[in-house]
Structure 1
Amino acid sequence: MRALVFTLVALLTMTAGASAAHPDDRDSTGRFDRPRPGFASPLTVLREGTPESVRLDPRPLAAALRRIKNWTEGSGSVRPMFAGAVSLVAHDGVIVRQEAAGFALRYREVRPDGSGVELPRDQWIPARDDTIFDVASVTKLFTSIVVMQQVEAGRIDLQRQVAQYLPEFAANGKESIPVEWLLTHRSGLPPFLLLWKNWPDKPARIRAVLEAAPQEKPGTKYIYSDLNLIALGVLAERVSGQPLDELVRQGITEPLGMSDTGYNPSPEVRNRVAATEFVTDPPRGLVHGEVHDENAWSLGGVAGHAGIFSTARDLAVLGQAILNGGTYRGRQILRPDTVEDMLTNRNHDFPEDSHGLGFELDQRWYMEGLASPCTAGHTGFTGPSIVIDPLSRSLVVLLANRVHPSRNWGSNNPARRALAQGLAEAMAVMPVGGPTAWFSGVEPAHDAVLRTEDLLVRDGRVRVLFDAFVDTEKTDTLALESSVDGGKNWRRASMTAHGRGAPKGEQATLAGHGHRSWWRVLAEVPTAPGERVMLRWRYSTDELYTGRGVYLDRIRVHDGRGVLLDDEWEPGRLIADGWRPAER
């Protein structure tokens, strides 16, 4: 069975044969520096537990949940980031935190100036663990799974042209677009059409989607488009002879026991459904209990791009099924090799838009410190996100009604990142030598400097050896610098790193993410005998993403006559500004 490339240079592979848990896996639970190959055991079933039970530090998770709770609050002129949210974090099959905050219903309308009009306080409905949210574009994952089920059944070939299944799709020069390009958003189709406004009924709206003209030449650009998934939903219906909502029910939600997930929730559960936006165009009023997306609404609430409602627990079950290689509680919704295909990047020509078959990959803007080339997920316009991290057997679900009462109140991306980052920081990075390593911290717009005292060079060039765990975006870098004039002037030393995911050749700075391993780093600093040299490790971040930062360990400096500094034996000889000793 072919392997799935799970890292930048094909060094971490997943195989279907690795689905069963290896005995050594237990030793790596919670250890960020030991990524785990393969899928989780297909027998893994989510259960309640504590962070400590799976070797997680509970403090970063608690801090993230406090921030999310704070973001749901607001009074007077201070708007909440979102009215309500439910957060769920699972690691190694254990739900370590699930918490509701804020309100599923708080507002009744929006004034012309954009401010919200609150309901009487006794009519506010608190968010609960079982609150049902409109998950908007997370629906695209359900449609993608349904399509891949049709692939497994032999009804769809990803490399065949869409027009071979849907002849009307050939209109406007689209006859050569393969099915795969719809799943990876390479079709060139525009992001959306105002179906609800410019076409009179469902047949006309579907026809408009299928006959739409590309915005760009197909295959030449990544354009995230709802039309891709609407067309895929129609394709799945056409080849199977069943409506999309039935395909989702029979193929996903029913076998996985996702009883709170589906299209068009029953009026009986409306009191559990989070409200979304107060809409004036079209004049829908407060949307509560029906799909927020206007195009999905105009298609009867069932569409390939939006329309699914779900709970945090149900989405966690779906995420665990993916981590398990397509199986949960003995019910298989996809084969392991199909899951591998879905989590394999197909957009190498568009490196900022890594994408598998339906799944987004390696998107730090909401995955933050969990991002890696094989970390999968999706977001939705109404506020939800799911992050699935096979390397650590983890998943994070955030459901929020950030469009309640207005879509114009802003983004909840900070909350998405905070929850993913909370889990990333909760996982250990164990020192490679001794009880502690130097940790840079993960503050944005920050410089962390770790330097030596003056070192007397006795003979020849100075060699510097150290271990580095680097999890940064490419604009956040680690540099090794030297000074021979007491720190007045500094110059960078070239470094060579060795280890899984390390950059090739000499580097002026180190950056990278997703490999989750320690690198052994070597640098040579030109000096003369009798000269005094100072060294410093400087980690600089910009104002946005931080990842897991940098750890340094086993720092050793020597010249031709022997050791000048060994941090394992003389930690007091390093001067830290922004770095701190860390045990994990």
Structure 2
Amino acid sequence: MTELNGTVSPSFEPVRDAVEGQLRSGAEVGLSLVVDVDGQPVVDLWGGHRDAARTQPWRRDTITNVWSITKTVTSLAALLLVDAGELDVYAPVARYWPEFAANGKQDVEVRHLLSHTSGVSGLDHPARLEDLYDVRAAAARMASQKPWWEPGTASGYHVLNYGHLMGELVHRLTGQSLRDFVHQHIVQPSGADFQIGLRGGDVERVADVIAPTVDFDPSTLDHDTTAYRTFTGPSFDAGAANTPAWRAADLGAANGHGNALAIAEILAPLTRAGASAHGQLLKPDTVGLIFNEQSNGADLVNGLHLRWGIGYALPDRRTLPWIPDGRIAFWGGWGGSMAIMDLDRRMTISYVMNNMGVDILGSQRAAAYTTAIYQALRDSNRS
């Protein structure tokens, strides 16, 4: 029998039941799920298996590639610089990175990078995945490009290059790589078990990602679209996440490694108006910037109807009806992982797994857990 470990508060037992049901059905292979309410861990679960053959148990310290959940940490790094007065989200990117002004991008602002509206959502052709592993050279190529659409007019999801763009700003302001900045200013203070990329000594506790059963073929897209240019600039598949080259890279868009507890420890201060267990991480006004809506409509790359704030998506019931309205910031990783920061309820939800679903954002499993969590919270508040 597949083992599920950890604890839940009594009113959140239905969440454990939901997870056990997904494990029994085989939909879930291995996972971790954490819910923090105002600093209290009301759900802290992990279990299943690290491998597709279900021979290696998912342990407390198991980590995995969390795909675009990495972007939520990269955005937090940017907010730290905003909070310190070193970065202005309404300033042109070129103030900090002069080369970025090339080819008509002189008016692109930092907020456009943080909201996926910059017009630069990938590399011009020719592009190989290996090109992204030299992060500063790739960023220089992006700085020289023409925007693929008018910046600020729509979102075009920055699938793999979000960390290159924000990471170059971090480097220009601090002299550090994004990976090192995150480690020093986010990971170490929080004690979270998270890293952009992967240290060699941690390979033995990593759960490989299990690719979705339906392959996405970007060659079927209209070649004149931003979606085609993005998904082929460069092309990649889920199996790349299990390779040494991917794991060694500094990809602030997609190769963060951690588990649900680590993600919750990092992001919970956003839920609590900037307060962390170790002091005030951000000013409340800095957290408030997240909710300055930057775009609202069909994304030019992934096709979803999305509302982007600064650094995080905002609730949109048309796309994810199981995330309620309100002061909520969130994003998910490819395959179904989710990070939800609900400021109204002072609740942080973090879900990480290895068996990837086929949906672009979220999954039936993520929906089932999130629905059970919100129902348990309502029931708890009534009792």
Does the residue aligned with 1:170 lie in a helix, a strand or coil?
helix
Q: Deviations over 1:517-550 (max 9, x none)?
A: xxxxxxxxxxxxxxxxxxxxxxxxxxxxxxxxxx
Could you say which residue in structure 2 is the equivalent of 1:126?
57
Post-superposition CA distance 1:481-524 (Å, at most 9, x none): xxxxxxxxxxxxxxxxxxxxxxxxxxxxxxxxxxxxxxxxxxxx
Q: Which residue of 2 aligns with 1:255?
A: 189
- Match 2:326 to one of 358, 369, 373: 373
1:353 aligns with 2:303: no
The amino acid that maps onto 2:13 is P
- Which of 154, 169, 178 pairs up with 2:109? 178
Q: 1:82 to 1:212 in 2, by over 3 A?
A: farther
Structure 2 SS opposite 1:354: strand
What is the identity, as a one-letter code, of the residue corresponding to 1:99?
Answer: L
1:254 counterpart SS class: helix
Q: Secondary structure at the match of 2:48?
A: strand
* CA deviation map 1:251-273 (0-9, x unaligned): 11111111x11123333322221
State the partner residue of 1:243: 177
| Cα displacement string for residues 365-390 of structure 1 (whole angstroms, at most 9, x for unaligned residues) | 78644422311111112542111112
| Residue 425 (1) aligns with residue 375 (2) | yes
1:62 is the counterpart of 2:21: no
Question: Residues 171 and 212 of structure 1 are in contact (CA less than 8 Å); yes or no, is this contact kept in structure 2?
Answer: yes
1:270 aligns to what SS in structure 2? helix
Q: Which runs of 5+ in 1 are unaligned?
A: 1-47, 74-80, 107-117, 432-582
Determine the structure 1 residue equivalent to 2:39: 93
Quick check: 1:83–1:105 contact (8 Å CA) kept in 2?
yes
Q: How many residues align?
A: 348
- For 1:104, the equivalent position in structure 2 comes to 50
CA shift for structure 1 position 286: 7.8
Could you tell me the TM-score, scaled by structure 1's length? 0.53
1:68–1:89 Cα change, 3 Å: farther
The structure number with the bigger radius of gyration is: 1
Residues 268-287 of structure 1 mapped to structure 2, 5 A cutoff: 268-276=201-209
1:230 and 2:178 are equivalent in the alignment: no
1:313-342, CA deviations, whole angstroms, 9 ceiling, x for partnerless residues? Answer: 111112322222222223332222211212
% identical aligned pairs: 25
For 1:308, which of 256, 273, 281 is the aligned residue? 256
Partner of residue 218, structure 2 = none
> How big is the shift at 1:178?
0.8
Contact 2:29–2:49, Cα closer than 8 Å, also in 1:
yes
3-state DSSP of counterpart to 2:41: strand
Of 317, 333, 338, 2:286 maps to: 338
In 1, distance between residues paired with 2:359 and 2:344? 35
Q: What is the one-letter code of the residue matched to 1:337?
A: D
Distance 2:82 2:71 in 1: 16
1:155: Cα distance to partner?
A: 2.2
Task: Measure how far apart 1:398 and its partner are.
Answer: 1.0
Q: Which of 386, 389, 397 lines up with 2:350 in the alignment?
A: 397
Write the distance in 2 (CA, Å) between the matches of 1:240 and 1:320: 25
**Deviation readout 1:64-108 (Å, 9 max, x if unpaired):** 21333135x2xxxxxxx45322122233433223322432123xx
Match of 1:577 in 2: none
Distance across 1 between alignment mates of 2:92 and 2:79: 16
The whole-number CA distance in structure 2 between the counterparts of 1:347 and 1:282 is 27
Aligned AA for 1:402? Answer: N
Alpha carbons of 1:219 and 1:283: their partners in 2 closer, same or farther (altered >3 Å)?
closer
| CA distance in 1 between partners of 2:66 and 2:368 (Å) | 19
**Structure 1: how far apart are the matches of 2:273 and 2:149?**
35
Equivalent pair of 1:105/1:274 in contact (CA under 8 Å): yes
Q: Do the aligned residues in 2 keep the contact of 1:274 with 1:289 (CA within 8 Å)?
A: no
Name the counterpart of 1:434.
none
Q: Is the 8 A contact 1:396 1:419 kept in 2?
A: no
CA contact (8 A) 1:367 1:387 kept: no
State which of 364, 368, 381 in structure 2 corresponds to 1:414: 364
Q: Distance in 2 between matches of 1:370 and 1:412?
A: 10
Query: 2: CA distance between counterparts of 1:284 and 1:311?
Result: 18
CA change 1:82–1:205 in 2 (3 A) is: farther
Amino acid corresponding to residue 326 of structure 1 in structure 2: G
Q: Please say if residues 172 and 213 of structure 1, whose CA atoms lie closer than 8 Å, have aligned partners that are also in contact.
A: yes
Q: Given the superposition, is the C-alpha separation of residues 199 and 148 from structure 1 closer, same or farther in structure 2, using an over 3 Å criterion?
A: closer
- Structure with bigger strand share is 1
- Alignment check: 8 A CA contact 1:277 1:287 kept: no
Runs of 5+ in structure 2 lacking a partner? 1-5, 212-234, 300-304
Q: Note if contact 1:191-1:223 (Cα within 8 Å) is conserved in structure 2.
A: no
1:418 shift after superposition:
1.0
- The whole-number CA distance in structure 2 between the counterparts of 1:324 and 1:199 is 35
Q: Give, as a single letter, the amino acid of the residue that structure 2 aligns with 1:140.
A: K
Shift of 1:290: 4.8
Q: Per-residue displacement from partner, 1:242-300 (whole Å, max 9, x unpaired)?
A: 12112101211111111x1112333332222111258xx989978547575xxxx6xx5
Q: Distance in 2 between matches of 1:378 and 1:291?
A: 25
Q: Distance in 1 between matches of 2:7 and 2:132?
A: 51
Work out the CA distance in 2 between the residues paired with 1:171 and 1:248: 28
Helix, strand or coil for the counterpart of 2:152?
Answer: coil
